[in-house]
Amino acid sequence: MAVTLTDAAANRVQTFLANRGKGIGLRLGIKTTGCSGLAYVLEFVDELDEGDEVYEHNGVKVIIDAKSMVYLDGTELDYTKEGLNEGFKFTNPNQKDECGCGESFTV
């Protein structure tokens, strides 16, 4: 079971965390919402919740709750730029389909 961060993503997360001045790591997760059923969660973490697992990858602490891990195993998180828009991109092998806007998906 693993989730990986590209160098670009890891660098960004570290910068953002440093900028924010607090927080222990980055939470990856999924929640049931949106037009195709599931949506990704990407949040700063100030304290751990019950059921959280902490993974360390590329110098960044990644926090994932056990339930989300089922759907995130094997995901690679990248930071990329498309035109003027830039942000984090999930590449998730569990994902079967996504809605047109790409904001929610099914497994």
Partner 1 sequence: MALLQIAEPGQSAAPHEHKLAIGIDLGTTNSLVATVQSGEAKTLTDFDGSAMLPSVVRYEADKITVGQAAAAASAEDPTNTLISVKRFLGKSQAEIEQSYGQLPYEFVENNGSLAINTLVGAINPVQASAEILKSLKDRATASFAGEDIKGAVITVPAYFDDAQRQSTKDAAELAGLNVLRLLNEPTAAAVAYGLDSGQEGVIAVYDLGGGTFDISILRLNQGVFEVLATGGDSSLGGDDFDSALVAHFKEQTQINDLNNSELRLFINKAKACKEALSSYETVNVGLELRDTAHTVTVTRAQFAEMVMPLVKKTLRACRRAVKDADVSHEEILQVVMVGGSTRMPVIREQVEVFFDKKPLTSIDPDRVVAIGAAIQADILVGNKPDSDMLLLDVLPLSLGLETMGGLVEKIIPRNTTIPVARAQEFTTFKDGQTAMSLHVLQGERELVDDCRSLAKFSLKGIPAMAAGAAHIRVTFKVDADGLLSVSAMEKSTGVQAEIQVKPSFGLSDDQVAQMLKDSMSNAKEDMQARMLKEQQVEALRVLEALEASLSTDSQLLNDNELAALRSEMQKLSDLRETATSPDEIKTAIEAVDAASSEFASRRMDMSIKQALTGQSVDEV
* Contact positions vs partner 1 (CB under 8 A): 12-13, 15-16, 19-20, 26-27, 31, 33-35, 39-46, 80, 82-91, 98-99, 101-104
Least distance (Å) between residue 67 CB and partner 1: 15
Instruction: Name every residue whose Cβ is closer than 8 Å to that of residue 6 and which is 6 or more positions away in sequence.
Output: 58, 76, 77, 78, 79
33 or 54: CB nearest partner 1: 33
Question: At its nearest, how many Å lie between partner 1 and the CB of residue 13?
Answer: 7
What is the spatial distance between Cα 73 and Cα 101, in angstroms, rounded to a whole number?
Answer: 23
C-beta of 79: minimal distance to partner 1 in Å? 9
**In the complex with partner 1, which residue's Cβ is closer, 69 or 92?**
92
Of residues 36, 34, 15, 37, the one with CA closest to residue 26: 15
**Based on CB atoms, which residue is closest to partner 1, 1 or 42?**
42
Query: Shortest Cβ distance from residue 94 to partner 1 (Å)?
Result: 13
